[in-house]
Structure 1
Amino acid sequence: MLRKLFIHLILLFFSSVSIVLGQNKIISGKITSSDQQGLIGATVLQKGTINGTVTDFNGNFEMEIPEQSTIVISYTGYITVEFDVGNKTKFSIVLEEDAQQLEEVNVVGFMGVVGKSRRRTESIQNIPESVQALNFEGIKNAGITDLSSFATLVPNMKFNTSQAVGNNFISVRGIPQLRGGDAPVAFVIDGVTVADPSLLNQELYDLALVEVVKGPQGALYGKNAIGGAINIYTQEPTNTMSNKVKVGYANGNAKTGQFVSSGAIVKDKLYYRFSTQYRDSDGLLKNDYLNEFVDFRKDINLRGQLKADLTDRLSVSVAYQHFNLEGGATYYSVNPEGYEFEGNLEPGGVLDPNPKEGNNTIVSDVLGISSMINHNGNLKVNYRTNHFNIQSVTSFNQVDRKTYGDLDFLPYDDFTQNEVTSSTTFNQEIRFDNKNKSSKLDWSFGGFFQTVEEPFYQDGLVRDYDTWDQFNVVAADLTNFTQTLALFGFVDYKITNKLTASVGFRFDIDRFEQDDRLNDVKSDRTNNVFQPKASLAYQANKNILFFANYGKGYRTGGFNPAVTQLFDKDFKDELTDNYEIGFKTSAWKDRIIFNGSAFYTDFTNQQQFILDLTDFYGGIYNYDKSRVIGFELDTKFRLSKFLDLGFNYGLSDSQIIEGGMTGGENGDATDNSVYNGNKTPFVPINTFGVNLSSSIQISKELRFNGFINLDHTGKTYWHESNLKEHTSDAYKLLNARVSMTYKKFEFEVWGNNLTNQQYYQEFSPGQFVGSPDDVGWRGQPLSVGTALTVRF
C-alpha cells in the first residue's frame, strides 16, 4: 500500500508538468548591491498595478506578468530603477546607493527581515508564529558560526554539547533533546529535512538565513517537530562572478581558512557555488593528569552547488556537502578534593554543580577522541505552471560517528568506553504550492517518504576487582530501521481583510524495527499519527497582528539497547497538545518591534534520558503526564541610524504531573511518581539576552560594524529530584564582535565568554545513575580571535 501511494504521487508530479501554459510569462532574477550582496525585501512591481513581490533572503524574486510589461524596483537607500521586460525572463539587477539619502538622517526600520518558516518567503512580522530570524547582515554582524551562537539570541532556546562531537542537547520551550533520541525540533537545511540530530553540531558558514519557529510544526515539517523547527539556508549560486577568502586565528592555536566562489558557467542558464572551510584548534581545557588539552577540534568542510534554469518554468539544482570533524571526547570534570591512592588523586565523589576555579578538575587517564564524517546530497526539481508550483526534493545523507575514551573519568585504568554508530537516510518529497498570492485562498500540499538505517555498537574495558584483570564487555550491537510515509497539507483563507484562518495537517505512517544482535531479539512497531494545526491571525492595523494557534505534537518512540531498573526495552511516543496566543507590533516607522507570546503544552508520555552506569547502559523512559507553561518577549529598538538595542526574555515552567513506573523486568522497577510536582530536568527555568548592534558608514568605502550580547541562562535542574546539590544556578555569558570593512577587505576581532565564566553544559549526579562520583561537562572558557576577509 505504501509503495503504491508513493508511486501515484510520482506519477502525479510528472503528469502535472504537461499542463498547458497560458499567455503570461514568469520572470525571475536577483537584486544585489554593488558588492554583490542580495538585497532582502526589495520591492518589485509591475508598473501601474498592484501585481508585485519582494525579494527573499538571497535577494531573489519571481513573479508572473503579461507580455511587454514594465517593472519598477525600489529599495530604501537605493536609486529606484524602471525598465521594460521585453523578451527576457531572467534578470541580474544591481542597485546603486542613493548618495542624497545616505547623507540625510534617514533611519530605516526593521521590516526587511524575512523568513521561510511556513515554506514561503514573507516578513517575520506577518507570520502568525513565534519566529526569530537572522538574514545575511545579521548573521555576519552577530558572528553566527553554529547553532549555539544563534541560540543565545533566541528566548526559551538553549543549545549545549557534551561527551563527543555530534552529541547535542537542545531545549525549546521546556522540551529537552534526549541523548540517543530525536531532537524536539525539525532541522532543515536548504529545504531538506535532516533526520540525524547529531548534524545539529556542524559548523555553519556562507549563510543566507538562520531561523527558528517555535511551537509544534509537525503539520509543516513532520515528526519530531514537537517544539518547533530550525531552518538554515545557505547562499545560492549567482549569475555574476564573486569570490571570498577568509583566514583567522584565535587562542588555543585555533586556525581558520575559508574560500567561497560563485558565478555563471553559462550566463542566465547554469550557475555554480563552491565553498570550503578548515578549522583546527588545540583546545582550551586541560587534563591535569595527562597535562594535555582535551577539547581539541579539527574540521574540514566542502560544499558544492549547481543550478540550471532549463526553461522559463523548469529549473534543476544539485548540491553535495562533505565534512570530516574530529574532536576531544569524554573529558568530564570531577571533584578534585580527596586523598592520595598509589600516587594518584582519589576524587571525593560530590561535585559542586556551580563550577569555579579550583572546585572541579579533569583527571581521566585516557585521552578521549571522537569523530563524525558526513556525506549528503540533494536533487531539486522546480516546475512552475500557470496556477501552481511543483517541487521535487530527493536527498541522501550518511553520517558515521566514533567515540573512544574513559568511562570512570578518573586516573585509573578501570573502565573505558567505545562507541560506533552511523545513520543512512533517504528522503523524497513532492510539494504543490499555490501561485496566486492575490486570492483569498492560499494552499500547499504534498507527500513525503523517508527511510533511516542506524547501526549502533558499544563496548568497553571493565576491570574485575577480584583478579584485577581487564576484559572487554559488549554493551550493545543493534540496528534500528525507520520507514515513514506522510501526506500533508496547509491552507490559508482570508475571511476578511483583517482576519485569516489557517489549517494544516500531516498524517504519518511510521514503521520501526530493531535488530538486537547482542540479545538475539527483533522488535517492531507501526504508528499512524495525525498531526493537525489551526491558527487565527487578526491584523488589527498595519502595525499590529494578534494570533492564536493550536497544534498536535509528536516525537517518535523507539527501543532501548536493554532493560534496566531505570528504563524499559521500549519507550513510547511523546504526544502533546499545544496552545499559544501572541502578538506582533511595530511603531515609530518600524523602528520599534515588540513581539510576544504565551503558551501551554500538555504532554502524554514525555521522554527523558538517563545513564544507568550500574548496567553500563543509557536509555529513554517516559513520564505519564507533564506540562509546560511559559511566555516569551522579543524586542528591538532602532535608537538611531547607527545603533540598535535588542532584548529577549523567555520563561518555561516545565513540571512532572505523573512520573509513572519505569524499567525493572525482575521486580526492581523505578517509581518516578515520587517526583510528581517537580521540575523537568535539563530545562533552564528562564533565559534572557540583551544586545547592542552598530553599523556606521564612515565614508563611501569604509564601514564599521559592532555587536555585543549578554546571554543569561536560568537555574537548571539536572535530575527529577530537584535536589539543590544537583541544580546549577543561573549564569551569564558575554560575547562581542567588531569589524572594519574597506573596499573589498574586512578585518574583525571577536571574543566569546569575555568574563571567563565557568558553567556546566551537562551534569550527571552519581547518586541516581549508579556511579560513586558526580561528573560535569564544562562549557568553553574565554576565547578571542581575529580574521581577515578579502572579496574579489
Structure 2
Amino acid sequence: MRNVLFTLLLLPLLSLGQRTTISGVVTDGSDVLPGVNILEKGTTNGVTTDFNGNFQISVASGAVLNFSYIGFKNQEVNTTDKTVLSIAMEEDAKALDEVVVQGFTGVVGRARKRTESIQSIPESVTALNSEGIEKNGINNVTNFAKLVPNLKLNSSQAAGINFLTIRGIPQIRNADAPVAFVIDGVTIPDPSLLNQELFDLALIEVVKGPQGALYGKNAIGGAINIYSKEPVNTNKNNLTLGYGNANALLTQFVSSGAIKKDKVFYRLSTQFKNFDGLLTNEYNNEKVDFSREFNVRGQIIARIADNFKASATLQFIDVSGGAAYYSVNPTGNIFVDGAPGGTLSPNPEDGNNVINHDEPGKSDINNAFGSLSLEYTPGKVKMQSITSYNYVDRSLSGDLDFIPFDDFTQGETAETRTFNQELRFNNVASEGKINWSAGGFYQDIEKPFFQDGLSSDFDLNELFYGVAADVINTTKTYALFGFIDYKLTDKLTASAGFRYDNDTFKQEDHLSGDTFERSNNIVQPKASISYQATENVLVYTNYGRGYRTGGFNPAVTDRFNRDYEDELTDNFELGFKSSMWNNRFILNGSAFYTDFSNQQQYIFDLDTFFPGNYNYDKSRIIGFEFDAKLRLSKYLDLLANYGFVDSEITEGGTTGGVDGTATDLNAFNGKKTPFVPQNNFNIGLESSFALTEKINFDGSINLNSTGKTYWDENNSDAFTTNAYQLLDARASISFDNLKFTIWGNNILDKQYYTEYVPGSLFGGFDDFGWRGRPATYGASVSINF
C-alpha cells in the first residue's frame, strides 16, 4: 500500500511544463473582489478570483492578463518578469449609470476542492460569499440551513449535541453527522462543533449528494465548506458591538495587516457573546437556555517565495450553557404524582409546553484547533500539505426525569482528539481539456466517552448509581483519492473520482473489560456528465457512493447488538442550472434517488439503562429541490427555494439478541424514516440601494418553513409535528466607516420543537420535547478603522 501511495503522489510531477504560474489578489482598493474574471489575452484560458479575491493561473511566458468585473474598468496587465500580482480595480461610474438593472454576479465556491462558479459545477450547491453572509446575518450552520432546500440542523439537550438532516438522511444521537464538515480546508470530524458560532467569513457552502470521493468517510449526504477571511496586506480593523433582548451581548474585534509588507500577513478575529435566556423553568422561575461563548482565531500567511506559501491557524472556543431542559408529558406511565398538569403534544401550541424540573442543567464545550498549510507551485502543478490537530472537551449534567421529583439525574463527558495529515496535488488552471486532483490522507481519532445517571428506589429510599457507558473509541484512517474532469467536447464534460479508505476501529470498554476491533476497506466512486446546452443552461447527471461508519454499543440488549453496521448509499441525481434575462433570473433544480443500506437509528433501553444504535436493513429516498433568484428591480431581489423528500424504511430486519430474543424491525416496513422533515421552503426579499451619495441601505426578510416530521418508526399521529414557519428580518444603514444594524429572528414568536422524543424510544419513558428559541431581536454598530 505504501508503494501505491508513493507512486500516486509522484505521478502529478510528470505534468510539470514550461508555462508560468501567476498568482495574486484582486481588490477594489480596500476590500477583496470575489468573482473577477481573468483571461489570458488571445486565448480561452481563464480563471475567476475566489471568495478571498485570490487567483492562480498558468500562462505562456510574458502573457497579458485581462481583468474584468461588472461596474469596474477593465485592466490589462503584462506578466513579463512577474509571478505575483496585486490588482486594485477602479469603479466605472459611466458603466454603472448606463446599466439600469444589473444581473446577479456569480458566486464562487470550492465544492470540488478548486475555485469554480457554482453555476458551472455539476452538483447541487448553495453558497454565500461574505456579502450574502452579512446580509442574512449568518452566524451558524442552523441559520444557513434555513436558506438551503433539504437541509436542517437542530440542537438539543446540551451545547454540542446537534442533529443534522440532509436529503432524508438524519444524524442520530452519539453518532457522526451525514456530512463532511470542513473549515478552511480541514475536515472537522467531531459533530459537537457543527453549530459553533461563525464570524469573519468569506464563504459558506453546502454541496449535496455523496461526496466521499472528495471528502472521505461520513460525507454520505454531502459536505459543508466554511472559509474564513484571509489576512490582507493593508492594515484594517473592525469593532462590532451589539445588544438584544435577554441581555444578549456581542463584542467582536477583527484586525488584519502586514507584518512584513507583501510577505507576511496576519489576521486576528475575536468574539464574545452572552445570552441570559428566554425559557423559564417553572419550578424555580430561572432561565434555562442561557449561553456564553468566547472565540479567538489567529491566522498568519507567509509568502516565503513567489511559488511557496505557508499558512498557520490557531483557534480556541469556550462555550457554556444550559442543558436538559425538556418539556415532559406528566401523564406518562412512570411519573404522575407531583408532576405539573396538562399534556404534551408534538405541536407545542396544542399542548403543555412547560419546562418544570428540579435539577439545574449545565453544559460546556472547549475546543483548541491548530493547522499548518504549505503550498508549493513549481509549474503547472500545485502541491499542498495540510496538517492539523483538533481537541474537543464536552460535558453536561442535569435532570433526567425532567419533572420536580428528586429522582433521575444525568451526566456525560466526551473528548475528541483528532490529528489530520493530507497531501494534495492538482493542476493549475489552464486552457487544456483536463483538470485533476489526487492525494493521500491520514487521520487518527481518539474519543473517550462516559455517561452515567443517578436514581432512587421508590420503595427502599436508596440511591443507585448507574454507568451507561465508559469507553474509549479510536479510529485510524488511511486514504487515497483522485478526481478528474475531461472536456469531451466544448459542451460535454465527463468527471470521475474515487476514494479508497482503510479504517481501523477499536473500542476499549472499561465496564466489561473487553476490547473490540474491526477494519474496513471501502471504495467510494463518483461519476458525472454535464452538458452546456446553451451559454446559460447546464444539465448534468451524476452517481455517487456514500459511506458513514458504524461502531460499537456498550452492551447487547434485546434492542440492539454489540455493534452497529456501516451505512452505504448509492445515489443517482439529475439536475440543471440556468440563468436568464441577463442573469436577472437564476433557476437551479435537481431530482435524486438513494438506495440506502444499514441506515442507523438510536434507542435508549430503560431496562438496562444502556443507549445504543441499530440498523434497518434497507431504506430508499426519493426527492427533488429547486433554488431560484429573481432581480425584480434595481433595488429588490426575490429569493426562493423548495425541497421535498420521501425517506422510507423498506426492509427493517431484526436487531438485538438476549437469550435468543431479538427485536423485529420489519413491522416498520413502508414507514417514513423518523426525524426527517418531509419538505422545507424559504421565501425571502433582499434590498440594497443608496439613500444618499454616502448612505447605503441593506435589508432582508425570510420566511422559512419546516415540513411535517415523524418522530417514531410507527409514524403515529401522536408523535408527528406539523409544518411550522419562522420569520426573520434584518436591516442596516452604512455610511463612511460606520454600519448600524437591527435584526429579529422568529419575530412572530412561534412555538416549536426542534426535537420530540416519544417514550417508546426509551422503553416506556415519558414523551418529552426540546423547545425552539422564542423571538429574539437586537441591534449592533460596527466601525472600520
Question: TM-score, structure 2 length as denominator?
Answer: 0.97
Matches of 2:549 and 2:522, distance apart in 1: 10
SS of aligned partner of 2:712: coil
2:537 aligned with 1:537: no
Quickly say closer, same or farther: Cα 1:317–1:760, change in 2 above 3 A: same
Quickly say closer, same or farther: Cα 1:413–1:10, change in 2 above 3 A: farther
SS of aligned partner of 2:242: strand
Matches of 1:666 and 1:740, distance apart in 2: 69
Please name the residue that 2:189 is paired with. Answer: 195
Are the equivalent residues in 1 in contact too, given 2:9–2:425 (CA < 8 A)?
A: no
Are the equivalent residues in 1 in contact too, given 2:332–2:767 (CA < 8 A)?
A: no
Please name the residue that 1:483 is paired with. Answer: 476
Quickly say closer, same or farther: Cα 1:110–1:269, change in 2 above 3 A: same
Please name the residue that 1:103 is paired with. Answer: 97
Mapping 1:555-634, distance limit 5 Å? 555-634=548-627
Q: Give the alignment partner of residue 142 of structure 1, picking from 136, 140, 144.
A: 136
Q: Give the alignment partner of residue 245 of structure 1, picking from 239, 260, 281.
A: 239
| Unaligned ranges ≥5, structure 1 | none
Report the residue type matching 1:30 in the other structure.
V
2:27 aligned with 1:32: yes
Please name the residue that 2:166 is paired with. Answer: 172
Quickly say closer, same or farther: Cα 1:417–1:392, change in 2 above 3 A: same
Are the equivalent residues in 2 in contact too, given 1:165–1:329 (CA < 8 A)?
A: yes
2:303 aligned with 1:303: no
Matches of 1:47 and 1:536, distance apart in 2: 29
Q: Shift in Å at residue 5 of structure 1?
A: 6.4
Matches of 2:468 and 2:626, distance apart in 1: 46
Q: Give the alignment partner of residue 467 of structure 2, picking from 453, 468, 474.
A: 474
Are the equivalent residues in 2 in contact too, given 1:184–1:555 (CA < 8 A)?
A: yes
2:708 aligned with 1:715: yes
SS of aligned partner of 2:657: coil
Report the residue type matching 2:104 in the other structure.
F
Please name the residue that 2:69 is paired with. Answer: 75
Q: Shift in Å at residue 670 of structure 1?
A: 1.6
Matches of 1:66 and 1:284, distance apart in 2: 62
Matches of 1:664 and 1:415, distance apart in 2: 27
Report the residue type matching 1:352 in the other structure.
S
Please name the residue that 1:284 is paired with. Answer: 278
SS of aligned partner of 2:94: helix
Q: Give the alignment partner of residue 777 of structure 2, picking from 764, 770, 784.
A: 784
Q: Shift in Å at residue 49 of structure 1?
A: 3.9
Q: Shift in Å at residue 115 of structure 1?
A: 1.0
Are the equivalent residues in 1 in contact too, given 2:180–2:219 (CA < 8 A)?
A: yes
SS of aligned partner of 1:220: helix
Q: Shift in Å at residue 385 of structure 1?
A: 2.4
Report the residue type matching 1:727 in the other structure.
T
2:515 aligned with 1:522: yes
Q: Shift in Å at residue 667 of structure 1?
A: 3.5
Mapping 1:651-666, distance limit 5 Å? 651-666=644-659
Are the equivalent residues in 2 in contact too, given 1:192–1:395 (CA < 8 A)?
A: yes
Q: Shift in Å at residue 296 of structure 1?
A: 0.5
Matches of 1:54 and 1:110, distance apart in 2: 15
Quickly say closer, same or farther: Cα 1:703–1:351, change in 2 above 3 A: same
Please name the residue that 1:759 is paired with. Answer: 752
Q: Give the alignment partner of residue 345 of structure 1, picking from 339, 350, 357.
A: 339
CA offsets, 1:482-514, max 9 Å, x none? 000011111111111111111110011000000
Please name the residue that 1:217 is paired with. Answer: 211
Matches of 1:546 and 1:45, distance apart in 2: 25
Quickly say closer, same or farther: Cα 1:61–1:378, change in 2 above 3 A: same
CA offsets, 1:223-275, max 9 Å, x none? 01000000001101111111110010111101000000111111111111110
2:616 aligned with 1:643: no
Q: Give the alignment partner of residue 93 of structure 1, picking from 82, 87, 104.
A: 87
Please name the residue that 1:114 is paired with. Answer: 108
Q: Shift in Å at residue 668 of structure 1?
A: 3.9
SS of aligned partner of 1:100: helix
2:388 aligned with 1:388: no
Q: 767-776 or 458-467: which moved more? A: 767-776
Aligned length: 784
Matches of 1:391 and 1:784, distance apart in 2: 44
CA offsets, 1:638-684, max 9 Å, x none? 11121110111111100000111111323442211111101000000
Q: Shift in Å at residue 105 of structure 1?
A: 4.2
Please name the residue that 2:58 is paired with. Answer: 64
Quickly say closer, same or farther: Cα 1:789–1:198, change in 2 above 3 A: same
2:203 aligned with 1:205: no
Q: Give the alignment partner of residue 445 of structure 2, picking from 434, 444, 452.
A: 452
Are the equivalent residues in 2 in contact too, given 1:591–1:638 (CA < 8 A)?
A: yes
2:727 aligned with 1:706: no
SS of aligned partner of 2:96: helix
Q: Shift in Å at residue 616 of structure 1?
A: 2.4
Are the equivalent residues in 2 in contact too, given 1:141–1:737 (CA < 8 A)?
A: yes
Q: Shift in Å at residue 435 of structure 1?
A: 2.0
Q: 321-330 or 99-108: which moved more? A: 99-108
SS of aligned partner of 2:284: coil
Matches of 1:247 and 1:709, distance apart in 2: 24
Q: Give the alignment partner of residue 502 of structure 2, picking from 477, 484, 509.
A: 509
Quickly say closer, same or farther: Cα 1:381–1:749, change in 2 above 3 A: same
Are the equivalent residues in 1 in contact too, given 2:9–2:438 (CA < 8 A)?
A: no
Are the equivalent residues in 1 in contact too, given 2:16–2:381 (CA < 8 A)?
A: no
Q: Shift in Å at residue 31 of structure 1?
A: 1.3
Quickly say closer, same or farther: Cα 1:427–1:5, change in 2 above 3 A: farther
2:325 aligned with 1:331: yes
Please name the residue that 2:250 is paired with. Answer: 256
Question: TM-score, structure 1 length as denominator?
Answer: 0.96
Q: Shift in Å at residue 338 of structure 1?
A: 10
Are the equivalent residues in 2 in contact too, given 1:336–1:359 (CA < 8 A)?
A: no
Matches of 2:276 and 2:388, distance apart in 1: 35
CA offsets, 1:272-301, max 9 Å, x none? 111000001101111110211001000000
Report the residue type matching 1:75 in the other structure.
Y
Matches of 1:506 and 1:142, distance apart in 2: 36
Quickly say closer, same or farther: Cα 1:606–1:648, change in 2 above 3 A: same
SS of aligned partner of 1:640: coil
Report the residue type matching 1:224 in the other structure.
N
Please name the residue that 1:500 is paired with. Answer: 493
Report the residue type matching 2:328 in the other structure.
V
Q: Shift in Å at residue 726 of structure 1?
A: 0.5
Q: Shift in Å at residue 767 of structure 1?
A: 3.3
CA offsets, 1:5-64, max 9 Å, x none? 66x479859x96xx9986643332221224x22211112233444433221111111223
Mapping 1:286-435, distance limit 5 Å? 286-335=280-329, 344-346=338-340, 351-356=344-349, 359-435=352-428
Please name the residue that 1:770 is paired with. Answer: 763
Are the equivalent residues in 2 in contact too, given 1:625–1:658 (CA < 8 A)?
A: yes
Q: 59-68 or 686-695: which moved more? A: 59-68
Report the residue type matching 1:257 in the other structure.
T
Are the equivalent residues in 2 in contact too, given 1:9–1:447 (CA < 8 A)?
A: no
Q: 66-75 or 647-656: which moved more? A: 66-75
What do you get for the CA RMSD once the two structures are aligned?
2.1
Quickly say closer, same or farther: Cα 1:9–1:752, change in 2 above 3 A: farther
Q: Shift in Å at residue 770 of structure 1?
A: 2.2
Matches of 1:23 and 1:334, distance apart in 2: 70
2:455 aligned with 1:462: yes
SS of aligned partner of 1:132: strand
Matches of 2:692 and 2:16, distance apart in 1: 50
Matches of 2:767 and 2:441, distance apart in 1: 44
Are the equivalent residues in 1 in contact too, given 2:106–2:119 (CA < 8 A)?
A: no
